């Protein structure tokens, strides 16, 4: 049974995951209208992933006797200036999500809720991967600078990352 403090914190994370999905969706739409199909595909895929992260939390809260709350969301921005800035924002957002997950883990330990602590370890590992991927992408962006040919190849590389990771998902 979840205590109220942890239930409230998990519901806050549900909102963060839902807003993350919206952030990625907005980035996907922006990239798509800029002709960056690979980046758009990557972002659409990540938007879906974030929604699945949210649903996993919803089910966990409800299964543990809590009540998962679907709340209102803050609207994401719609313009990112350039793709370099967008990916910098993506990394900053993932760092924010990682800190939020770490805070949840801390609360689960304070409350001696080891089932929740165990459940959250998946999110801890996921965030390590998300941050590493964002950093790798930023490293590639820094390599190409303002080279248009490099942008074309980068867009195709990111599209391949989206295809490869989708192929590795269960049920894919």
Q: Does the predicted TM-score (pTM) go above 0.95?
A: no
Nearest to 42 by CA among 55, 54, 28: 28
CA distance 153 to 140: 10
Nearest-Å Rg of the Cα atoms of the chain is 17
Written in H, E and C, the secondary structure of the chain is CCCHHHHHHHHHHHHHHHHHHHHHHHHHHHHHHCCCHHHHHHHHHHHHHHHHHHHHHHHHHHHCCCCCCCCCCCCCCCCCCCHHHHHHHHHHHHHHHHHHHHHHHHHHHHCCCHHHHHHHHHHHHHHHHHHHHHHHHHHHHHHHCCCHHHHHHHHHHHHHHHHHHHHCCCCC
Determine the average pLDDT of the residues in 125-133. 94
User: Residue 172: its pLDDT value, please?
Assistant: 38
Tell me what percent of the residues of the chain surpass a pLDDT of 70: 94
CB 140 within 8 A of CB 81: no
Domains delineated in the chain:
1-73+118-172 (1.20.1260.10)
Confidence of residue 168 (pLDDT cuts 50, 70, 90): low
Checking if the pLDDT of 141 tops 90, the result is no
Using the predicted structure, report yes or no on whether residue 171 has a pLDDT greater than 50.
Answer: no
């Amino acid at each position: 049974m979840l205590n109220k403090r942890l239930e409230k914190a998990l519901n806050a994370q549900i909102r963060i995951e839902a807003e993350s999905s919206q952030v990625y969706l907005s980035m996907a739409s922006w990239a798509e209208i800029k002709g960056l199909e690979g980046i758009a595909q990557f972002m659409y895929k990540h938007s879906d992933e974030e929604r699945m992260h949210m649903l996993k939390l919803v089910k966990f809260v409800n299964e543990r006797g809590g009540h998962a709350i679907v709340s209102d969301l803050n609207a994401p921005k719609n313009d990112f200036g350039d793709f370099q800035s967008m990916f910098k924002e993506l990394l900053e957002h993932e760092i924010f999500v990682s800190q939020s997950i770490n805070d949840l883990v801390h609360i689960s330990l304070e409350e001696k809720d080891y089932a929740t602590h165990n459940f959250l370890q998946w999110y801890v590992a996921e965030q390590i991967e998300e941050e590493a991927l964002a950093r790798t992408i930023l490293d590639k962006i820094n390599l190409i600078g303002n080279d248009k040919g490099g942008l074309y190849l980068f867009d195709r590389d990111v599209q391949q990352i989206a295809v490869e990771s989708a192929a590795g998902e269960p049920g894919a």
